[in-house]
Structures are given as C-alpha cells and as structure tokens.
Chains A and B, each alone.
Chain A
C-alpha cells in the first residue's frame, strides 16, 4: 500500500524557516517524480514544486522561487521542502504527492494527509 506521511509543519514567524518532510512507503520511491502541493485555509489547491527521480530537475511555482527548495533522499525514501523567508501568504496545508505513472503526463495519483504551516507573528 502506497503511503505518504508529511511532518514538520507548525507555527513560524514571518521571515522564518521551516523544513517539511515526507516519508514514502509501499512503492519504489526512487522511480517516481514527486511534488509538493499546498492549500491555504478555505482556498483551492496550488502546485508548489516538482523533483525528478534522481533530483537532477526541480521546478517551482513563481511565488516560491528563490525561497523554497525541494529535495529528496532516495536512500531514506524521503522528500523534503526547505522553506525560507516565509510570508503570511505561505500559510497552508502542504501535501506531498506522487506523480502518476503515465509517461509525459504530470498528475498526482497518491497524496499524503498534509501538514499545516502557519506563518504568523
């Protein structure tokens, strides 16, 4: 059974940093692109970042470029999101998600339950 379990969320002051983790199990983690998707309270879904299987390619939504860094450790079956210079508008539930298996198509076939990040003084 595929499982994605996020951790690391919490309350942080504006300008602060936080590192999210996602522990993957039930599939060959190193074979899949992985992503972070967020959802502000009461709002819709927003894609944040993607990372290729070997970490050689990373893509970000414009609003987090230069502030967030996606990374992975295939030996630990783990995905990470380092978030720096946090802003109030980064407040959201952050989901770890696996790219679906269709070649050339980007969509999400499995999601974690999410971890809440609150940026507030």
Chain B
C-alpha cells in the first residue's frame, strides 16, 4: 500500500486562510477526499474528487490538486472550523484499498 502525508498541525487566526496539504505518490492517479472531525464526533466529508464540495458544506471549503499534493483550503476561517482534518484516497483498480492521511489538527487562534 502507499502513504498519505499531512502536517500534524496548522494554526490560523479567525478570518484568515488555512491551507492543509496531503502528499502521496498515488495522488496524480487517484482522487483525494477530505473529512472534518470534531472532538467526540464522527468524520464528515467536506471535499470529494479533489475539489468538489458536498451539499451543505460551506463555500469557504475548497480543494485543489497539483502533482503529488492535494490541498484543502478554508477561506475566512471561523472558530467552528477548529477540528482534525483527514485526507483519504483509494486504489480504484478493484480492491478498493483505502488509505487515510495521518490527520491535521487545525487550531483557530
């Protein structure tokens, strides 16, 4: 299997832009997905197929991809965005082996 690498933590002030990266050799060939997880809660999908936003997710959440790195961007960060964020990808050739990044703790200062 392969790995997805995320920074352990990112800190931003309210109203600023937070960028969380996820790197992996398979990312040029596979889509990435992002989940938000608040303490004591289940993860919530916030970005799918690198840059698509599910219904109900605020427009300040966006995603992008470049080579072996995908990025989750949160524009105009709010206090409620403080959470752990995980990237995820999967082998789509048939076995559907799923891989998660190690997670990034977003702190809103």
Alpha-carbon distance A111/B36, docked complex (angstroms): 12
| A45 & B31 in contact (Cβ 8 Å cutoff) | no
Residue of B nearest to A113 (CB): B42
Shortest CB-to-CB span from B100 to chain A, Å, is 4
* Chain B 48-64 interface 0/1 with A at a Cβ cutoff of 8 Å (1 = within): 11000010000000000
Interface residue A112 (Cβ < 8 Å from any Cβ of B): yes
The 10 closest A-B pairs by CB, nearest first: A106-B90, A47-B98, A111-B42, A107-B33, A44-B103, A106-B96, A45-B100, A44-B102, A104-B92, A50-B96
Show the binding face of A for B, using Cβ within 8 Å.
Answer: 33, 35, 37, 44-47, 50, 59, 61-62, 95, 100, 102, 104-109, 111-114
Question: Would A105 and B31 be within 8 Å (CB), given that A47-B98, A100-B45, A113-B42 are in contact?
Answer: yes
Listed A/B pairs (26) with beta-carbon separation below 8 Å? A35-B98, A44-B84, A44-B86, A45-B35, A45-B86, A45-B103, A47-B97, A47-B99, A47-B100, A50-B96, A59-B96, A62-B1, A95-B42, A100-B45, A100-B48, A102-B48, A102-B49, A104-B92, A105-B31, A105-B48, A106-B90, A107-B33, A107-B48, A108-B43, A109-B54, A114-B42
Shortest CB-to-CB span from B42 to chain A, Å, is 4
B-chain residues with CB within 8 Å of residue A35 when the two chains form the complex? 98
Chain B 65-109 residues near chain A, CB threshold 8 A: 84, 86, 88, 90, 92, 95-103
Alpha-carbon distance A106/B37, docked complex (angstroms): 19
